[in-house]
Structure formats: structure tokens, C-alpha cells
Amino acid sequence: MSAMTITQRSMVSSGVINALAGILFFFSMVFGLRSFIVFSLLFVFIHVSTRLWCKASIRHVHYDLILDKKRVFPGESFALDIELENAKLLPIGFRIDVPPNDLFRSTFTSNGFNRQGTLMWFQKVTFNLKCEAACRGIYEIGSANLIIGDLFDFFQNELSETPSRRLIVYPRIVELSPFFISPKALFGIPKAKTPVLDPVYIEGTRDYQSGSPSKYIHWKASARYLRLQEKIFEPTVQQKILFVLDVKSFFENNADTPFERTIEVIASIAVQYDRIGYPIGLMTNGHVNGNGGSVVPISKTPQQLAAILESLAGVNIKPSGNVGALLNAGLALSSGVSCIYASYSNDHAFYDAHAYFNQINIPVVSVISCPDATHDRIIGTCFTIDDICGKNALIAQTA
């Protein structure tokens, strides 16, 4: 309980109680009313004892919150357990008030969660709440007002800043257009000047060269030309995908709903590409709450998708800078990187970012959320949110 702020309160002011007890005792002595003398002394004894009881009631009281899941998706259920334990011989009275939270649906009433009762010696009580995540975000759940005192509620200790637990709600995963399922459909085959041949990409056939592995022989072509033919492979590098989310245009146009849809689309593409096995990364100029960062370097580690989804869960629409400044800050982009650039409209920042990627020979596919965005001067391949969700066709594609 040392991490909490404790405020002591009582039903009646101690000064008023002491004054009444003193007046009653004085008149009892003056008029010789022995029964009132005993009553006044008993009154003082109860007052002092319950005050000491209240002071001792906060000791060895353990309050905790337990989440069965720390990371969920919207619509996913999770359990929240509130535990309160009295680890001493002195019984106590308690009241727990957890304010309502509109960010996730639960068994809370409109007034939140409220329970009161008593805990005897070494007794523990657990309240089980079934909750459902409503929308993406990073939430501190369970911060409550905890009131502990004597059994008669004469004196109470109000404890604020009680422990809370962090819940990460990832963006919603939506169904993608088949064209967006594979990076090869968007960016083609990533070529590189390297002697390493990739057997996945076959460029053609040629006469068999002495010393080449027999597994590269193309038997059907050999039968057609009546001489041994071997496969020719393109030198390639593994394709890497960088997601860039520019929140500034969303903020300037108060486009909260398109912003949420864009985050859902980026998260869905990231899940799909990670499942296929592509290295992925994320960069955004939006402020990110929690432990997620605005830049998640491209990687293929088992924790990469979770890091990207956590950053997308915590990003908000208020920008912390320009995308151009992040790009010029020294983000290392190796060969084989392709970019999916998401913004609200094709504004000046849109063209500046595309010029930067074009300068370093990185192909870009753009995702625009504004339905009224102008399609002139479109650079590369551009989609709207509805395109990606499978409703409309490609709006613009230039060489």
C-alpha cells in the first residue's frame, strides 16, 4: 500500500466529537449524573478506539488487478479480476469504486464497478469481470478509489493511485483485396546486382553448362529441344516492406475515421506479409503512446509483428513532426526495400516523400484515404482504402 495516496476522513469531524464528549462529561460531573459520566467516557473510548482501528486498517491490505490477456484485438474478450486481501487479525470494512470506461465493454454499470463489504481476519475476496475490447489503443485499466476503515464506517481511509494494468488493443484486422495479398503483385520481383541466384524466380532456359547442378536441368525443355537445357535464375534479394504512416494530413483535415481505417489496413497488410515471411518495418510521424516507437526497423524476428501492432495501437492523430525529417534522420534502407506509404491526401509532403524514395530507387505504393483526392500528378501506384478492402479498382497507376 506504500505506492498509494491515503486520505483519512470520518462521518463527523473529530473536533465536533471531542467537543460533544467534553460538554456531556462536564454537565454530568456538575449535576452528578453517573450514568451520563459512564456514557461520555464510553463515547470517548469508542471514538478513540475506532480512530485507531481505522489507522491500523490500512496495514497489510493487498489490492491487485489481474488481466488474463495483455494484448487483444477489438471485439476480443478478456477477464479482469480485482483482488483485495486483509492479511491481519483486525477485520476491516471496504468499498471499491472503479469509474466506468467507455473504451471497452464490460459488466460495468453506467456508474462503473462498485462493491462494498467486510473482510475478516486473513480473508481474501476476488471480483471477476468479463470485458470486451471496443477499439484500438493502450489503456490503463483498473485505477480505482479504495476506501478502507473500521466495520462501523465511523472513520475511513480513502486510497487513490491504486495499481492499474496496461491493456494493449491492437488495430482491427480487415479483409484485404486479393491484389494486396502478396508483395510480388504490388512491387514485382526485387532485383539486385548479386552473384547469388534465387531458384524461386526463373528467367528462362539455356543449353546445359558442364559443372552446373543436375537439379537445375529443365527436363521438359530438354525433351522439346532434344538436348539438355538448364534453368536460368534471376539474381534477387529478399523483399522487405516498409510501412510509412503520415498522420499530419489526417490531423490537418480532422479525418479521425479515415485515420482509423488506414491504421486497420496497415495492420492487416502487416499481418499478411509477416505470415508469408517477409521482413517488415514501420515509420510514422505520429506520437506513439506506450512502449511502442515511431520507427520500427525492418526485421524478420518473431517479435517484429507484435512491435508493429503495438506502435499502431498507440499512435494518435497528432503529429510529432514531418515524415521528411524522419526520412532524412538516417533511416538505413538496404537493397530490396519496398514502401507502402499511407496518408490522407496527395499533398506536398506526399510528393516530397515520393521524391525521396525515387532518389534512392525504392518502389512506392501509395494508400490515400481522402475520397476527393486529386488524381493528377500521381506518382507510382496509388490505391484508396476502398480499393484495398476489395470494393473498387485501382484509381491511378503511372510509370
- 223-258 pLDDT per residue, tens: 888 888 888 765 455 578 889 999 888 998 888 888
Q: What percent of the chain has pLDDT over 90?
A: 7
pLDDT for residue 263 is more than 90: yes
Whole-angstrom distance, CA of residue 127 vs CA of residue 138: 23
Confidence of residue 311 (pLDDT cuts 50, 70, 90): very high
Per-residue confidence (pLDDT) for residue 171, from 0 to 100: 93
Confidence of residue 26 (pLDDT cuts 50, 70, 90): low
Q: Mind listing the pLDDT tens digit for each residue in 57-80?
A: 778 888 888 888 889 998 888 888
Per-residue confidence (pLDDT) for residue 232, from 0 to 100: 73
Among the ranges 23-32, 92-101, 383-392, which has the highest mean pLDDT value?
92-101
Q: Mind listing the pLDDT tens digit for each residue in 170-206?
A: 999 888 776 665 555 555 545 444 444 545 445 567 8
pLDDT, averaged across the chain: 75
Q: Mind listing the pLDDT tens digit for each residue in 106-159?
A: 655 556 677 888 888 898 888 888 888 888 888 877 667 788 887 777 777 777
Q: Which residue has the cell 534453368?
A: 231
